[in-house]
Structure 1
Amino acid sequence: MSQNIFSDKIELLVLDLDGTVFGNSRLLIEEIENIRNLVDSGVRIVISSGRTLHYVLGITRCLGLDDIVICEEGTVTYDCRNHELILLGEQKDLILLKNNLSSWLPFCIIPKEAHHDKNVIIALDREPRINVDDFLNEVSEVLSEKNLDLNLTRSDEMINLMPPNITKGYALDKVLKSEKINTNSVVAIGDSLNDLSVFDVVKYSIAVSNSHDLVKEKSFYTSDKTNGHCVSEIIDFILSNNKKY
């Protein structure tokens, strides 16, 4: 029996990918069917991911989605309906750093395995590698010396540089305003700290059971199911809820 956790008609579902739509890069057949059923019912689905646009579009094709996607940690939005690409954030300092990387940060390299499009996010590795916190401090000192306004985040042994104040939530807020969608009619499902900015934008934030503890703490509802099983559960809730309207 579907649980009633919503008090509004739901118009849009926002889905994170890694750790949410799938775990271990696997999509569940049941989940794909439920996602397509939700779209057929008239509810829109927006993918919100830190991954590259190329990667995210591959997933949307598998899921049968043709809507807006948010990727590259919110620095890129792409409308699959009209192929409109929007880059968010000031790119000037990012371009300046990339053009002077070998002289300003001679110990840094842009690794081939980096997941990000280097036009919007620069992923840096170090040769030789050192403690990541020390690496962050090294790069921070150079950014300060060169007066570059960029945001630094860590990812395993590498660090990422991107325009400041850009998050997945920032991008979603712009999408909702552009599409004239009330935040009370939006559900978002996520698992990681970078999903918290999305949770801040919507009324109904859902944490999968494998979420970071802070994500669970900040969520409107925490599922006892993982990954795609949670997505299927919430879709059932939405379909049942929307029958009232």
Structure 2
Amino acid sequence: MIKLIATDCDETLLSSDRTIHERNKKAIKKAQDMGIKVIIATGRGPYQLFNILEEIDIEKEDRYSVLCNGGLIMDNMSKKIVDSSPIKYDKAMEISDYCKNLGIHFEIYTDKHCIISPNGNKIFGNYDGDIYKFVEDPKKEDFIKDEIIIKVLLKNHNLNYLMSLEEDIARICDWDVSISYSSDIYMEINRKNVNKANAIKKICKHYGISMNEVLSIGDNYNDKEMLEEAGYSAAVQNAHLLLKDVSKYTTKANNNEGAVGEAIEKFVFDKKQQK
């Protein structure tokens, strides 16, 4: 029996325009009315959630979010970080130097800010200056030393190129590293053994439930472990083939059509699936 639902955000819960499909909202509300706990498990930082928690009504007591691919667990009500798995400052700076030499867009996610070094690459869109700090050389920014570095990120529109850098990054980090990919343009780097599944296990322990009682829903490589280890799992239609292979179900709907709602309908509301 499902007692907790964990859903990814981008390209899963969220439509391409960053809204939440009504089918998703209705299914999540009905599941919560049944006493099922709902959490998000995302690569986003705590300052990038905007109104997501409010829209699906999980901004309440004793509810948590898995952030930065499992590097952080946040209390949804107080916004306090209750668990973290930081990257060493010197390793983050070494990766920064590596990216600068190659001209690769580089970002550092801390508990308070997202530090961006474009390294010659074009930047599009509007950024909140209180959250996003554009810097030429992170080593020259003393404030970073006072913050918890949770993950670092490389951006390039050639995913195969990013994948070719894995061994270099692992070597820089003395192999104490977890590498995943998202949105087909990001290499996401966390401490070894940091992933969404391991963070969800911590939340399950708090609630006294097992991973066999979890439904996980995702689309990309940074969702792989939680889809593999949950008792129930669904890859959305727009997910990578690998994610469909490791999931127990692939939705007919994509992220623009209420795929999360479909997965909840199948596994939670269809009593045949609970047997």
Please give the range of the TM-score, normalised by the shorter of the 2 chains: 0.7 to 0.9
Counterpart in the other structure of 2:127: none
Spell out the pairing of 1:85-164 with structure 2 (5 A cutoff).
Answer: 85-91=81-87, 94-98=88-92, 107=101, 114=107, 116-117=109-110, 119-124=149-154, 131-132=161-162, 135-136=165-166, 138-140=168-170, 143=172, 147=174, 149-153=176-180, 159-164=187-192
Letter in 2 for 1:47: I
2:209 pairs with 1:213: no
Q: Aligned match of 1:20 in 12, 37, 51? A: 12
CA-CA distance at 1:208 after TM superposition? 1.5
The 1-side partners of 2:185 and 2:252 are apart by 31
The 1-side partners of 2:252 and 2:97 are apart by 51
CA-CA distance at 1:85 after TM superposition? 1.0
Counterpart in the other structure of 1:5: none
Spell out the pairing of 1:47-62 with structure 2 (5 A cutoff).
Answer: 47-56=40-49, 58-62=51-55
Q: Deviations over 1:71-112 (max 9, x none)?
A: 101101112145441343353xx2123456777775268958
CA-CA distance at 1:158 after TM superposition? 5.9
SS of residue matched to 2:91: helix
CA contact (8 A) 1:52 1:116 kept: yes
The 1-side partners of 2:41 and 2:96 are apart by 33
The 2-side partners of 1:102 and 1:217 are apart by 34
Q: Deviations over 1:52-72 (max 9, x none)?
A: 122235311222213211010
Counterpart in the other structure of 2:226: 198
The 1-side partners of 2:210 and 2:200 are apart by 12
SS of residue matched to 2:222: helix
2:198 pairs with 1:170: yes
2:252 pairs with 1:235: no
2:60 pairs with 1:30: no
The alpha-carbon distance between structure 1 residues 167 and 34, as it changes in their structure 2 partners (threshold 3 A), is same
The 1-side partners of 2:41 and 2:105 are apart by 24
SS of residue matched to 2:6: strand
The 1-side partners of 2:240 and 2:199 are apart by 22
SS of residue matched to 1:36: helix
The 2-side partners of 1:21 and 1:200 are apart by 19
Larger RCO: 1 or 2 (CA < 8 Å, sep 6+) = 1
The alpha-carbon distance between structure 1 residues 133 and 79, as it changes in their structure 2 partners (threshold 3 A), is closer
Q: Deviations over 1:150-201 (max 9, x none)?
A: 3445666664432112111111111111221122322111111221210232
SS of residue matched to 2:229: coil
CA contact (8 A) 2:155 2:187 kept: yes
Name the TM-score, length of structure 1 as normaliser: 0.76
Name the TM-score, length of structure 2 as normaliser: 0.68
The 1-side partners of 2:221 and 2:97 are apart by 33
The 2-side partners of 1:136 and 1:182 are apart by 33
Letter in 1 for 2:35: G
